């Protein structure tokens, strides 16, 4: 107990415990110290990677100090905290962000410059932390940055996968997957907490008995156990002392259990059990927006939610408050349905272990949780087979059935004699075998449910959760439009533009208050400013052109229009439609006379993104893009008028180079399918225009920047059903331009057409679920509008400036504040820089 320390000891601590000064020499000393001791290297034996490691270790020392200070002060004040449960945190690189947020970027750059290294090279030596599939994971990372910056007491909980999202290589035009063993070298951004080890149980059976009051109670008697070990990743806020935490769990075998097998003389089984235990956090599932249904995935979800709740409950119990205060102290946000088991686990802890009665426990549970939905695609809805669930989590299954029973009883009371309604709303789907609908469980166990953009939130109210809106009332279903952090996506990724903005606005306050970008609106017509603006865009394009040359061996001109579509490859995102339109463009160019060609706007069409390894059709889209690129890029009749590029292994740090270099980016999902999109926000924030559909956050971006600064085409969400119906039953013919394009593929213009047959057959009349044919004509027109607008560079630059100027709404600071005010009911807690213990 610190309070019992003698005064001399406290004084000694306070003399020793001083934050390091932030002058160049102190920084250089710490770098050299880490090179020569932690890394055991000699100065003359240093490369960029060693320099990166040393700088990271040096920055980490400071992060840890801030982290300690924050967590110490939080423990003492014990305000309400929010816990963000996400199976994915797509952090990317950490060093640049850590130095920026610590306010030490310039002095570190100078410091290592004098030691003979360039900051850019050092920064680029870091590999990405890629513990996520796409923007669900990246959103979690942006939110952690904003939570710390706005000084909210928040922790993230996730898994520490040994293998992040696979590395993609392109071999003969096809995607090939390679493991991402990112922990090959020590990860300096994590603090292993080997002392925090939590037992997690699986399988076994349930023991039911009467307690001393004659009440039936249940106790889970598990059959297996593993250990959860904590690894903490400090998340510093920008321009604040606050430093939050992401706690990632790693699975390890339990010693007691392998000893049992060992003592039975079954050495091999004990080793096998140990391997099984480590497997739980071995690999991130590489599917986005599809449900794999694998047992190991369910194990991951339970392992993670149980460890996290154990930690949260332990922290709460230290305060010795009454259980009814739990929702006053704890808010838990479920990032999609992946952590929904946490609802069941908390109910189990309260009822089985803390002996609360069911109703009191359930009241606490539902006041604690809130749930974010990220998709309406049916194939993405999580369902778990009851037999598999029962084997792994027998007690939890009983609880799920009880939750469902009590819930349906209440529904029945409100809406009597409606069996169809009960069937639709049930948490259990009557199939062979029965399935647990995790989205229904998440809705029933939460006090707020949100979608991630206005259209999407309305859609979930009208479709998948319609019955629930009628039952609970509409207040429970809210919208929080996604956001992105301006620190990474403008200040770091586009540093030159960031400097120009600061110089123009006279302050860098916009980095924390993105609405201040509005001040750029008055510069729209300023010729000098326009020139600087375009010069920066061009420099960014030169940088991307160099990257394309290096990674793809393709020469592209930075004077062409850069047209970018980078995101996960998925049918609903319609990269297929994009490449079909590229083929159309290619055929058109080939049909022109030299005089006509002189009027063609040169364009570089850039693709990037990973397909889930088992998603055959998506992988064929990648193959088609590469086959088209091969033909087009080598056709002398086309030259610089059209280039097609597929950049392999798209990830966060590539995005940081690609986003600032785009003139146009494509966000062209079938209306109603893309919940929000967040890269659309990143591109526009960097002065790139959008070619897109009326889907997700595109709609709100349009509202903010004005319809003259965005290229919109295609059908609207409410038209989709009718169009599908018309296609299927009224024999609507295929778009003629599309027919021409398909004929060219089938003729063998791009390799053996047999390869692409399964892809082309997705467009068969009546089967074109994503409405490529229906939208094709308006898509081609929108592309022409883009070409025409780009030719008028005087107007284009104005559009580009207006884009950036009006993107304030899409700061993740705004999103996080909405969550804090309307869902979590938490307040900022400012950490003071006192550096003293007492």
Residues with catalytic annotation? 374, 567-568, 573, 678, 682
Residue whose entry in the numeric block shows the structure tokens 């946490």:
342
Minimum distance from CB of 623 to ligand HBZ (Å)? 23
Total residues at interface with ligand HBZ (CB under 6 A): 19
Residue whose entry in the numeric block shows the structure tokens 């071995």:
282
- Using the contact rule CB under 6 A, the part of the chain among 74-82, 128-136, 341-349, 766-774 near ligand HBZ is 128-136
- Using the contact rule CB under 6 A, the part of the chain among 218-226, 374-382, 521-529, 557-565 near ligand HBZ is 374-382
Does position 380 interact with ligand HBZ (CB under 6 A)? The reply is yes
Does position 678 interact with ligand HBZ (CB under 6 A)? The reply is yes
Does position 288 interact with ligand HBZ (CB under 6 A)? The reply is yes
Minimum distance from CB of 755 to ligand HBZ (Å)? 28
Output the six-digit token pair for 26.
Answer: 């102190």
Does position 763 interact with ligand HBZ (CB under 6 A)? The reply is no
Does position 287 interact with ligand HBZ (CB under 6 A)? The reply is yes
Does position 191 interact with ligand HBZ (CB under 6 A)? The reply is no
Binding residue for ligand HBZ (CB under 6 A) from 156, 236, 696, 808? 696
Does position 439 interact with ligand HBZ (CB under 6 A)? The reply is no
Minimum distance from CB of 834 to ligand HBZ (Å)? 38
Q: Is residue 193 left, alpha or beta, with left meaning phi > 0 and alpha meaning psi from -120 to 50?
A: beta
- Using the contact rule CB under 6 A, the part of the chain among 69-77, 217-225, 285-293, 597-605 near ligand HBZ is 285-293
Q: Which is nearer to ligand HBZ, 481 or 727 (by Cβ)?
A: 481
- Using the contact rule CB under 6 A, the part of the chain among 236-244, 599-607, 672-680, 807-815 near ligand HBZ is 672-680
Does position 145 interact with ligand HBZ (CB under 6 A)? The reply is no
How does DSSP assign 42-106, residue by residue?
Answer: -GGG--HHHHHHHHHHHHHHHHHHHHHHHHHHHHHH---EEEEE-S-EEEE--HHHHHHHHT-HH
Does position 135 interact with ligand HBZ (CB under 6 A)? The reply is yes
Binding residue for ligand HBZ (CB under 6 A) from 51, 139, 705, 789? 139
Does position 676 interact with ligand HBZ (CB under 6 A)? The reply is yes
Does position 775 interact with ligand HBZ (CB under 6 A)? The reply is no
CA–CA distance, 53 with 72 (Å, rounded to integer): 28
Residue whose entry in the numeric block shows the structure tokens 């690609």:
658
Coil, helix or strand at residue 232: strand
Three-state SS sequence of 492-523: HCCHHHHHHHHHHHCCCHHHCCHHHHHHHHHH
Does position 258 interact with ligand HBZ (CB under 6 A)? The reply is no
- Using the contact rule CB under 6 A, the part of the chain among 78-86, 134-142, 513-521, 818-826 near ligand HBZ is 134-142
Minimum distance from CB of 680 to ligand HBZ (Å)? 9
CA–CA distance, 782 with 560 (Å, rounded to integer): 18
Taken in order 577, 579, 584, 588, the sign of the CA dihedral is positive
Minimum distance from CB of 463 to ligand HBZ (Å)? 16
Q: Which is nearer to ligand HBZ, 662 or 678 (by Cβ)?
A: 678
Does position 134 interact with ligand HBZ (CB under 6 A)? The reply is yes
CA–CA distance, 449 with 754 (Å, rounded to integer): 46
CA–CA distance, 281 with 302 (Å, rounded to integer): 11
Does position 289 interact with ligand HBZ (CB under 6 A)? The reply is yes
Neighbour-count burial for 611-646, b at 16+ CB within 10 Å, e otherwise: bbeebeebbbbbbbbbbbbeebbeeeebeebbbbbb
Kindly report the length of the chain. 838
Does position 230 interact with ligand HBZ (CB under 6 A)? The reply is no
First to last CA, the chain: 11
Minimum distance from CB of 651 to ligand HBZ (Å)? 14
Coil, helix or strand at residue 131: strand
Omega of the bond leading into 311 within 30 degrees of 0 (cis): no
CA–CA distance, 246 with 10 (Å, rounded to integer): 30
Does position 674 interact with ligand HBZ (CB under 6 A)? The reply is yes
Q: How far is CA 459 from CA 47, 373, 465, 478, 696, in A?
A: 53, 11, 9, 11, 10
Minimum distance from CB of 768 to ligand HBZ (Å)? 21
CA–CA distance, 378 with 199 (Å, rounded to integer): 35
- Is 131:231 a contact under the CB 8 Å cutoff? no
Binding residue for ligand HBZ (CB under 6 A) from 28, 50, 58, 133? 133
Does position 774 interact with ligand HBZ (CB under 6 A)? The reply is no
Residues 468-497 that bind ligand HBZ (CB under 6 A): 482
Taken in order 225, 226, 227, 228, the sign of the CA dihedral is negative
Binding residue for ligand HBZ (CB under 6 A) from 242, 375, 435, 653? 375
Q: Which is nearer to ligand HBZ, 288 or 345 (by Cβ)?
A: 288
Minimum distance from CB of 288 to ligand HBZ (Å)? 3
Minimum distance from CB of 303 to ligand HBZ (Å)? 16
CA–CA distance, 341 with 427 (Å, rounded to integer): 13
CA–CA distance, 368 with 230 (Å, rounded to integer): 23
Q: Which is nearer to ligand HBZ, 681 or 805 (by Cβ)?
A: 681
Minimum distance from CB of 334 to ligand HBZ (Å)? 13
- Using the contact rule CB under 6 A, the part of the chain among 135-143, 383-391, 658-666, 803-811 near ligand HBZ is 135-143
Q: Which is nearer to ligand HBZ, 99 or 380 (by Cβ)?
A: 380
Q: Which is nearer to ligand HBZ, 351 or 380 (by Cβ)?
A: 380
Coil, helix or strand at residue 454: helix
Minimum distance from CB of 480 to ligand HBZ (Å)? 10
The angle, 0 to 180 degrees and rounded to 10, between the axes of the packed helices 454-462 and 698-705 is 140
Does position 136 interact with ligand HBZ (CB under 6 A)? The reply is yes
Residues near ligand HBZ (CB under 6 A) are 133-136, 139, 287-289, 374-375, 380, 452, 482, 674-678, 696
């Amino acid at each position: 107990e610190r309070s019992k320390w003698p005064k001399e000891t406290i004084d000694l601590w306070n003399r020793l415990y001083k934050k390091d000064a932030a002058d160049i020499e102190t920084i250089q000393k710490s770098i050299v110290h880490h090179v020569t001791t932690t890394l055991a290297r000699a100065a003359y034996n240093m490369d960029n990677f060693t320099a990166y490691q040393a700088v990271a270790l040096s920055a980490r020392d400071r992060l840890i100090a801030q982290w300690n200070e924050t967590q110490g002060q939080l423990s003492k004040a014990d305000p309400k905290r929010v816990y963000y449960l996400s199976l994915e945190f797509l952090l990317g690189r950490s060093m640049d962000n850590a130095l920026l947020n610590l306010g030490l970027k310039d002095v570190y750059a100078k410091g290592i410059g004098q030691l003979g290294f360039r900051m850019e090279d050092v920064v680029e030596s870091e590999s990405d932390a890629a513990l996520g599939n796409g923007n669900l994971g990246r959103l979690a990372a942006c939110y952690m940055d904003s939570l710390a910056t706005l000084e909210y007491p928040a922790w993230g909980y996730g898994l520490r996968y040994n293998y992040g999202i696979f590395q993609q290589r392109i071999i003969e035009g096809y995607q090939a997957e390679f493991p991402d063993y990112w922990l090959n070298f020590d990860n300096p951004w994590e603090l292993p907490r080997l002392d925090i080890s939590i037992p997690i149980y699986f399988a076994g059976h349930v023991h039911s008995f009467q307690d001393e009051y004659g009440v039936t109670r249940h106790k889970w008697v598990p059959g297996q156990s593993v250990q959860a070990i904590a690894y903490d990743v400090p998340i510093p806020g920008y321009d604040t002392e606050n430093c939050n935490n992401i706690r990632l769990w790693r699975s390890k075998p339990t010693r007691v259990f392998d000893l049992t097998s060992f003592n039975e003389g079954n050495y091999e089984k004990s080793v096998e059990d140990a391997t099984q235990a480590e497997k739980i956090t071995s690999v991130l599932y590489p599917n986005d927006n599809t449900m794999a249904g694998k047992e190991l995935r369910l194990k991951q979800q339970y392992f993670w939610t149980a460890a996290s709740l154990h930690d949260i409950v332990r922290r709460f119990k230290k305060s010795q408050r009454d259980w009814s205060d739990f929702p006053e102290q704890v808010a838990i946000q479920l990032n999609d349905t992946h952590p929904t088991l946490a609802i069941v686990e908390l109910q189990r802890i309260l009822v089985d272990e803390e002996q609360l009665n069911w109703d009191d426990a359930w009241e606490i549970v539902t006041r604690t949780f809130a749930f974010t939905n990220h998709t309406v695609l049916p194939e993405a809805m999580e369902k778990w087979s009851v037999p598999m669930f029962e084997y792994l989590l027998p007690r939890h299954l009983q609880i799920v059935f009880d939750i469902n029973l009590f819930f349906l009883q209440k529904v029945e009371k409100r809406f009597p004699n409606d069996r169809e309604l009960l069937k639709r709303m049930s948490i259990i789907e009557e199939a062979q075998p029965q399935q647990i609908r995790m989205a229904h469980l998440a809705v029933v166990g939460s006090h707020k449910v949100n979608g991630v953009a206005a259209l999407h939130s309305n859609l979930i109210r009208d479709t998948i959760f319609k019955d629930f809106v009628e039952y609970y009332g509409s207040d429970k279903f809210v919208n929080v439009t996604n956001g992105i952090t301006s620190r990474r996506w403008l200040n770091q990724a586009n540093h030159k533009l960031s400097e120009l903005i600061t110089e123009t606005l006279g302050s860098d306050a916009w980095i924390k208050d993105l609405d201040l970008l509005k001040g750029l609106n008055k510069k729209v017509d300023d010729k000098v400013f326009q020139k600087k603006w375009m010069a920066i865009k061009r420099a960014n394009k030169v940088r991307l052109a160099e990257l394309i040359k290096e990674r793809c061996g393709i020469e592209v001109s930075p004077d062409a229009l850069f047209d970018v579509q980078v995101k996960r490859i998925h049918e609903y995102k319609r990269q297929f439609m994009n490449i079909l339109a590229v083929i159309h463009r290619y055929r058109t160019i080939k049909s022109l006379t030299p005089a006509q060609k002189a009027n063609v706007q040169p364009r570089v069409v850039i693709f990037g993104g990973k397909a889930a390894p088992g998603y055959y059709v998506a992988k064929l889209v990648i193959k088609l893009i590469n086959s088209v690129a091969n033909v087009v890029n080598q056709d002398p009749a086309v030259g610089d008028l059209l280039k097609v590029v597929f950049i392999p292994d798209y990830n966060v740090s590539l995005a940081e180079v690609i986003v600032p270099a785009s003139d146009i980016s494509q966000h062209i999902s079938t209306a109603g399918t893309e919940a929000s999109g967040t890269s659309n926000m990143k591109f526009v924030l960097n002065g790139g225009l959008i070619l897109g559909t009326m889907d997700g956050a595109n709609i709100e971006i349009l509202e903010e920047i004005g319809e003259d600064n965005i290229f919109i085409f295609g059908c609207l969400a409410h038209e989709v059903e009718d169009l599908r119906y018309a296609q299927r039953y009224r024999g609507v013919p295929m778009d003629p331009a599309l027919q021409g394009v398909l004929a060219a593929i089938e003729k063998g213009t791009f390799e053996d057409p047999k390869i692409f047959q399964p892809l082309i057959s997705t467009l068969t009349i009546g089967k074109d679920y994503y409405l490529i044919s229906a939208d094709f004509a308006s898509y081609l027109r929108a592309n022409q509008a883009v070409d025409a607008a780009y030719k008028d560079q005087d107007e284009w630059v104005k559009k580009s400036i207006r884009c950036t100027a009006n993107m304030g709404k899409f700061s993740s600071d705004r999103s996080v504040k909405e969550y804090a005010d309307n869902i979590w009911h938490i307040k900022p807690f400012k950490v003071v820089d006192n550096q003293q213990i007492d």
